[in-house]
Amino acid sequence: MKTDIILCGVGGQGIISISAVLGIAALEENMHIKQSEIHGMSQRGGSVQSHVRISSNPVASDLIPLANAGLILSVEPMEALRYLPWLSPGGWIVSNNQPFLNIPDYPPVESLMQEYKSRKNAVLINADEIASRCGSAKASNMVMLGAASRFIHLKPESLMHGLEKLFAQKGSSVIDLNLKAFDAGRQASVAL
């Protein structure tokens, strides 16, 4: 059993936390894992990606080969499309539909949505709004993890446990907020 995930977004949007939760959960389920990350302030405001490979067999390459990722998990709609060459035939895109506007030539949002409409396996949700309803827009990354969780070969309980561990030092209100966000994301994705 194996899940190869391209995680992407814009620097500062919290994909490192998503990656960390996946790591803890995979470890808990005794899976093999490799996650290749982007570090450093140099990426601030730029596009960032992380390759996450979870498998019951040992993982060789830290990078996912082209056309091999079963899932693109994105916290920004244009960024998801940037990594399409990695998506396997029939693989899923799960993305936030809220654009992060920090460049002058960002394409019209309708043209992005047109791209998504032409694809079968895409789940687009408004993670910012869902997160705000849960208590803080900052938790939109965990909304996205929740939404993507049904395409990941890990139990939702392990992911939620991972999330608790990651935020353990931040106190119970932060943990509850993020658990709520995770759950709301999962519900939203199932409802589609």
17 binds another protein (CB under 8 A): no
96 binds another protein (CB under 8 A): no
Interacting residue with another protein among 2, 29, 82, 135 (CB under 8 A): 82
183 binds another protein (CB under 8 A): no
Interacting residue with another protein among 56, 103, 172, 173 (CB under 8 A): 103
Distance CA 3, CA 145 (A): 14
1 binds another protein (CB under 8 A): no
Shortest distance, CB of residue 121 to another protein, whole angstroms? 11
Interacting residue with another protein among 15, 21, 87, 181 (CB under 8 A): 87
Query: H helices within 29-171, ranges in order?
Result: 77-82, 109-117, 127-134, 140-148, 156-166
- In three-state secondary structure terms, 85 is helix
Tokens representing 170 are: 């931040």
CB 137 within 8 A of CB 128: yes
60 binds another protein (CB under 8 A): yes
Single-letter code of the amino acid located at 57: N
Find, among 8, 1, 183, the residue nearest to 78 by Cα. Answer: 8
CB 167 within 8 A of CB 190: no
Shortest distance, CB of residue 34 to another protein, whole angstroms? 5
- Specify the residue for token string 């992380």: 50
Contact set with another protein (CB under 8 A)? 10-11, 19, 23-24, 27, 32-47, 57-67, 78-79, 81-82, 84-85, 87-89, 91, 102-103, 105-107, 111-112, 115
